[in-house]
Amino acid sequence: MASLPFSVSKSHSFLTQLRILDGSCDCSKVEKSIFGKIKDSRSIYSNNNMGLNIMNVATKQQPAVVPLSPEKVAPNDSKLAAWSSVRQERWQGELSVQGEIPLWLSGTYLRNGPGLWHIGDYGFRHLFDGYATLVRLHFENGHLVMGHRQIESEAYKAAKKNKKLCYREFSEVPKPDNFLSYIGDLANLFSGASLTDNANTGVVTLGDGRVVCLTETIKGSIVIDPNTLDTIGKFEYSDSLGGLIHSAHPIVTESEFLTLLPDLINPGYLVVRMEPGTNERKIIGRVGCRGGRAPGWVHSFPVTEHYVVVPEMPLRYCAQNLLKAEPTPLYKFEWHPESKGFMHVMCKASGKIVASVEVPLFVTFHFINAYEEKDENGRVTAVIADCCEHNADTTILEKLRLQNLRSFSGEDVLPDARVGRFRIPLDGSPYGKLDAALEPEEHGKGMDMCSINPAYLGKKYRYAYACGARRPCNFPNTLTKIDLLEKKAKNWCDKGSVPSEPFFVARPGATEEDDGVVISMISDKNGGGYALLLDGSTFKEIARAKFPYGLPYGLHGCWVPKA
C-alpha cells in the first residue's frame, strides 16, 4: 500500500494545490518449469546494505539461509517471520509435500505483499510501508515449486542504490536535506514524482494474460513475468484521464477491468473500464461525494452483474496530512463521522446512478462480493454488498504498526470485525441497512483478507473464505470458511501462527460452489513457514509443504492457470 495523494487535474495550478493542502482553499470546489533440474544454476546478487544476500537458485537442494540481524534493523519480540524482512532477495526450489496435492491443481498462485521493512539500519513503521515481495507457488502433477523475489520498482531500486528512502510510502516520507529540498519535494508530490511505485498490495491476471502488481498509486502498476517473477516494466495507461491514485483492488474478469479513481479536487469518484488487450481506461460515469470535502478511502469496491457499487466511507482522504513528515494517527486519512457514510450504485451500461443511500458508519478495507436481490417477478429490488467490516473502528490502522505486530504480549488487542452486509434499496429510499451477515462469534470476531469462488463474482453466493481470530490475539490468526446460508463458520488454526489470505481455486468442471481447494501461506510460531492446502468443502487440511525459511506476511494473490 502506498502513500495516498489526490488526483491532480492539469487545470489546477501549483498554488491552488498548496491552498487546498493547507486548508485555505475548499477541497470540494508477475523459470521455465523446474520440476526436473534447473540447468543453469545462477548466482543472484543482492545488496548487502539492504540486509540481502548472494544466493543460488536451486531445485532439490535448498540454499543455506543467512539470517538478518533483527536486533539492528527490525526488533521483533516474537519468533514469527511474518513481521520480519525477507531474508534474501530471491529463492526458488521444489518443496517436499506432506499429504497429497490434487492432480487437477495445475497452475500458479502468486501472492504479493510488503516484505522488506528496512533500509540498512533504518526500520519502517507500518506493515504497509514494506517493499514488495512476490511469492510464487507453482502446482503441477502433484508437485510444488516455490519461489520469491522482490519487485524491482523504482522506489526499491533507488533505496538500494542510495541506501535511504527516496519515495513517499504509506507512513514514511524521505527526510529533506534542507528547506529548499522540502519545497522541491512538495512540487514532486503534486506532480506525482515523489510518490512511490512500490507495488506491494495486490497482483491480478488481466483478461489478455498480462500479470500486473498494484498498489494505490497509479504509477505503482508493474507488469511481471509469472514464471520467473522478473519485473518487466511499468503498466502505462494510454488514456488521458490522469490522476495519481486508484483503488488497489480493481475488479478483473476475462472480459474487463473496472476500477475507481478518487478525486480530491472535486470530491467524487470516476468509475472506469478497460478492455483486455488495451491500456485505455474509459469512463463509465462519475459519482459525486455526498459528505465531507474529500472522498472516502476506496481500497476496494464490489460489483454485481449489472451494477458498480461505490462506497463512500467516512474515513476520508486528507490532503493536509500528506505534508507532514511524521505520520498522524490515521496516516493519510481523517475520520469524519459527521460527514456520514453512503453507498452509491451505478449502472455499468449507462453510467447512471440508480441509488445513493445513507448507511450506518462503517470502516472496511475489503469488500467480499455483491449481488442483486430480486422479487418474485425477477425485478431487481436491492443490491446486497458484503464486506469485512471493523465496526466503524479506525484503530485497526494503528494496530498494523510493525511495533505493535512484533510485540504481542498475550493481551487481546485485535479490534472486533464482522461480515458486514449492506442492503441498498433501489426504490428511491434514502437509507440503506448495514448488519452482520452472521454472528461474529462464529469466526472469533476477526474478519479480513477474503476470497470467493470467482465464478460467483457479482452473483448470489453462499461461501466466503477469510482470516478470522482465535482470541486473545493482535492480528487475525485463523482461516475461516463462512457459510452465509447456514450462518455458520468452519475454522482452521495452527496455534501461535499467522496465516495469510486464503485463496480459493475451483476444481475444473465443479458444479458445487465450494468444490476446490483453499491455498494459504503460514508463518509458524517457530519462525518457519509453509504452504497450506485445505479442502474447500470440508475445510480439512489435505497437504502442506515447508518453506526453507519463514517468509514475511503477504497481502493478496491471484491464480494463473497453466497455459
- Cell triple for residue 146? 516455490
Is-contact 52 117, C-beta < 8 A? no
- 443 assigned binding-site residue: no
The continuous run of DSSP H or E covering 317 comes out as: strand 315-317
DSSP sequence for 184-226: HHHHHHHHTTTB-----SEEEE-TTS-EEEE-SBGGG-EEE-T
Is-contact 211 223, C-beta < 8 A? yes
Is-contact 34 40, C-beta < 8 A? no
Helices (H) and strands (E) in the chain, counts: 6, 37
Q: Of 520, 428, 536, 543, nearest to 82 (Cα)?
A: 520
DSSP state of 507: P
- Cell triple for residue 5? 495523494
- 148 assigned binding-site residue: no
Spatial distance between the Cα atoms of 551 and 455, rounded to a whole number of angstroms:
30
- Written as one letter, the residue type at 310 is V
Instruction: List, in sequence order, the alpha helices (H) in 396-495.
Output: 396-399, 402-406
Spatial distance between the Cα atoms of 391 and 418, rounded to a whole number of angstroms:
7
Is-contact 262 317, C-beta < 8 A? yes
- Cell triple for residue 342? 453512503
Spatial distance between the Cα atoms of 94 and 545, rounded to a whole number of angstroms:
9
Spatial distance between the Cα atoms of 525 and 529, rounded to a whole number of angstroms:
9
Spatial distance between the Cα atoms of 2 and 114, rounded to a whole number of angstroms:
10
Q: Maximum CA pair distance of the chain?
A: 69
- Quote the Cα angle for 559-562-563, to 5°: 120
- 143 assigned binding-site residue: no
Instruction: List, in sequence order, the alpha helices (H) in 135-178.
Output: 154-162
Spatial distance between the Cα atoms of 213 and 1, rounded to a whole number of angstroms:
11
As a residue count, the chain comes to 563
- 390 assigned binding-site residue: no
Q: Which residues are annotated as a binding site?
A: 249, 299, 366, 556
Q: Which residues are annotated as a binding site for Fe cation?
A: 249, 299, 366, 556
